[in-house]
Amino acid sequence: MPDYTEFANQIRAQGYRMTPQRQIVLDAIAAFEGHASAADIYEWVQQHSPAINRATVYRVLNFLCDLQVVARFETGSSTMYELVGERPHHHLVCRGCGYITHIPDHALDTLAEALQQEYGFHAEFHHLAIVGLCAHCAAQVEG
């Protein structure tokens, strides 16, 4: 889990103010210690600062994603958010049980090389989510 207090410095270094709304959304994401939906984040924010409305939470999430402080990725059924760590990683998302696991960035090196060689395409993978079935759910389907 990244040290989320450093993100305030990152925001300031990019020329923006660290507003209370931005801080509480960062606090909410950090509180989940992993992946959280916008609804989860909004609910947490409401418990700690009821004056902040849903539109503000969504605006702040978009802002933090634009600054690459927060990563957004699709799981197939929802959009999830997490703090960007020092090491890039991607996600395997089970469409059966919803389990999410991280895979390291280098796991997609072969795919990136193949795309470049076969298509001349230089892929940029940023918090990619690959949807499928975990071993447990696949075994239930096959069994």
Model confidence over 52-89: pLDDT tens digits? 999 999 999 999 999 988 888 887 778 889 888 766 67
Domain containing 133 equals 89-142
Q: How many separate domains does the chain show?
A: 2
Q: Between β-strands 70-74 and 79-83, what pairing exists: parallel, antiparallel or unpaired? A: antiparallel
What end-to-end distance do the CA atoms of the chain give, in Å? Answer: 37
Same domain, 74 and 131: no
53/111 same-domain check: no
Alpha helices in the chain (DSSP H): 6-13, 20-31, 38-48, 54-66, 109-119, 135-142
Q: What is the pLDDT of residues 100-113, one digit of tens each?
A: 888 888 888 899 89
